[in-house]
């Protein structure tokens, strides 16, 4: 059984469930699906007859819409669940919501939840494949995979590249999954944040700095994070203005970086805080490539989770 076959029909809670071979299989499969989005009729029958529910308990633009488009391009049926318009507001428990959806025969649940660990718990309640679309401060595996995909498209491979993750690392599920994925593919990660936003208990080998200027000249990629105000206690930064003065990637700082250095961000960006408008709209910003990559990578993740069309493959259609 190959790496992909071993994973088919399984849930994806974080990237550390995957071996490097499985990550490469996913990225290769995403590459083969990318072409579907350039067709006049953007559809293949790979998941025809399967049902995917987007179960989102937190706001999302990129992740929810790209999972919906990904499922539709694979010909799955898609249902979008919005907690605010559901029986959750009448007090229905998460477990009963999941069991209700299972009773309708859904094949996959794409889950975003404010509580770290919720998708893993849901996975224990249902036979449906569960895909973590971001849980609390824990993990955002498809974001990390799409970031690897977007970077590999730009720079060939991640081996021996140095990637600075800059900003609110403490509250960032994206940072946690990206650290695992980038290092799995051979990159060196350096964390840059004010002391109040740097997570405690980092492994001793972790490279970090409290000063962005310290790493400006020796990184290939600057991966910026927004301040996760929805998860922060108050008082972790003196003010937005002072935070921006110390950590914003602006044209002056990018001008000191290596000429080939790229700027990434998972979105949503806050122009004028962690990134200047000039950098966000400039040629070294990769954010829209990340979004494009997200569609292909989420097609691959759904294909893996649902095992694809019987007897079919990623090229079918
Ligand atoms: N990067 C990301 O998860 O964006 P959304 O919150 O818009 O899905």
Ligand 1 pocket test, pick from 56, 60, 143 with the greatest ligand atom count within 8 Å of Cβ, gives 60
Cβ–ligand 1 contact at 134 (below 6 Å) = yes
| Residue closest by Cα to atom 6 of ligand 1 | 60
Integer CA distances (angstroms), 249 to 60, 245, 314, in order = 24, 9, 39
CA distance 117 to 123: 10
**CATH at residue 99:** 3.40.50.1370
81 found inside a domain: yes
Whether 128 contacts 108, CB under 8 Å:
yes
Residue 316 has a pLDDT of 44
Same domain, 151 and 80: no
Residue 248 has a pLDDT of 98
Cβ–ligand 1 contact at 62 (below 6 Å) = yes
Instruction: List, for residues 74-100, the tens digit of each pLDDT value.
Output: 999 999 998 888 999 999 999 999 999
Same domain, 194 and 65: no
Cβ–ligand 1 contact at 29 (below 6 Å) = no
List the beta bridge partners of residue 81.
Answer: 55
Same domain, 205 and 126: no
Same domain, 41 and 146: no
Instruction: List, for residues 240-271, the tens digit of each pLDDT value.
Output: 999 999 999 999 999 999 999 999 999 999 99
Low-confidence ranges of the chain (pLDDT < 70): 1-9, 308-317
| Residue closest by Cα to atom 5 of ligand 1 | 60
Instruction: State what percent of residues in the chain have pLDDT above 70.
Output: 94
Same domain, 260 and 283: yes
Same domain, 74 and 94: yes
Same domain, 114 and 177: no
201 found inside a domain: yes
- Joined tokens for residue 202: 């980092």
User: What is the domain range of residue 244?
Assistant: 141-291
314 found inside a domain: no
- Joined tokens for residue 62: 């990129």
Residue 2 has a pLDDT of 52
- Joined tokens for residue 1: 């059984």
313 found inside a domain: no
311 found inside a domain: no
Same domain, 94 and 153: no
Residue 237 has a pLDDT of 87
How open is the CA angle 121-122-125, to the nearest 5 degrees? Answer: 100
User: In the chain, how many domains are there?
Assistant: 2
Same domain, 301 and 189: no
Same domain, 178 and 231: yes
Same domain, 33 and 120: yes
């Amino acid at each position: 059984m190959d790496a992909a076959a071993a994973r088919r029909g399984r849930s994806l809670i974080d990237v550390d469930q995957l071996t490097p071979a499985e990550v490469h299989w996913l990225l290769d499969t995403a590459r083969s699906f990318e072409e579907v989005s350039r067709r006049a009729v953007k559809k293949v029958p790979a998941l025809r007859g399967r049902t995917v529910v987007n179960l989102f308990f937190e706001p999302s633009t990129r992740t929810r819409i790209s999972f919906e488009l990904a499922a539709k391009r694979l010909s799955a049926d898609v249902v979008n669940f919005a907690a605010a318009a559901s029986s959750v507001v009448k007090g229905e428990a998460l477990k009963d919501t999941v069991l209700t959806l299972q009773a309708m025969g859904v094949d996959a649940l794409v889950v975003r939840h404010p509580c770290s660990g919720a998708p893993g718990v849901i996975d224990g309640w249902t036979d449906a494949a569960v895909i973590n679309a971001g849980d609390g401060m824990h993990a955002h595996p498809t974001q990390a995979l799409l970031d690897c995909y977007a970077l590999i498209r730009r720079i060939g491979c991640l081996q021996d590249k140095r990637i600075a993750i800059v900003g609110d690392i403490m509250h960032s599920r994206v940072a946690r999954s990206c650290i695992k994925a980038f290092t799995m593919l051979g990159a060196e990660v350096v964390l840059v944040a004010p002391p109040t936003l740097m997570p405690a208990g980092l492994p001793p080998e972790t490279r970090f700095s409290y000063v962005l200027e310290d790493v400006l000249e020796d990184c290939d990629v600057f991966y910026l994070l927004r301040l996760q105000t929805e998860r922060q206690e108050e008082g972790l930064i003196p003010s937005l203005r002072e935070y921006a003065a110390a950590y914003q990637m602006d044209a002056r700082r990018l001008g000191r970086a290596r000429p080939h250095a790229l700027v990434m961000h998972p979105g949503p960006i806050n122009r004028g805080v962690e990134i200047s408008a000039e950098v966000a709209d400039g040629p070294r910003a990769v954010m829209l490539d990340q979004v494009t990559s997200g569609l292909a990578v989420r097609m691959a993740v759904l294909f893996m989770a649902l095992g694809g069309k019987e007897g079919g493959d990623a090229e079918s259609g």
